[in-house]
Amino acid sequence: MTEAKVNDRTTFNISISYLIQIILAIAAFVYGYASISEHIEKNDTEIKNLRANQNTYIFPDIRTLEQKTIVLEKEVLVLQKEIEFYKKELQNANKP
């Protein structure tokens, strides 16, 4: 038996139809990879935009809402005390 030796004079014979099929298969894989990569990049960009908008006016931070709630609760308490005060004043003013 003779061993196959690879050197600078080695030749490789392949049919043209097989070569075209190989080139088309590689092109299909490259196109598929590029398409998937593009979809992943679009989704990544959309996720980044959603996260950036999360703390803006559309989705305010919960801490901001809690602070506003506390301020409003304090104002309600002050207004309730004022209402009680004015009711007493009216009652005192109506007494002869």
User: CB under 8 Å to 55, separation ≥6 — which residues?
Assistant: 61
Res 82 pLDDT > 80: yes
Res 96 pLDDT > 90: no
Residue 54, pLDDT score: 67
Distance CA 63, CA 55 (A): 10
Residue 8, pLDDT score: 84
- Of the CA atoms within 13 Å of residue 23, those in its CB half-sphere come to 7
- In DSSP notation, 54-78 reads TTSSSS--HHHHHHHHHHHHHHHHH
Number of H helices, E strands in the chain: 2, 0
Q: What is the pLDDT of residues 53-62, one digit of tens each?
A: 666 655 567 7
Distance CA 55, CA 61 (A): 5
Q: What is the pLDDT of residues 37-73, one digit of tens each?
A: 999 999 999 988 887 766 665 556 777 888 899 999 9
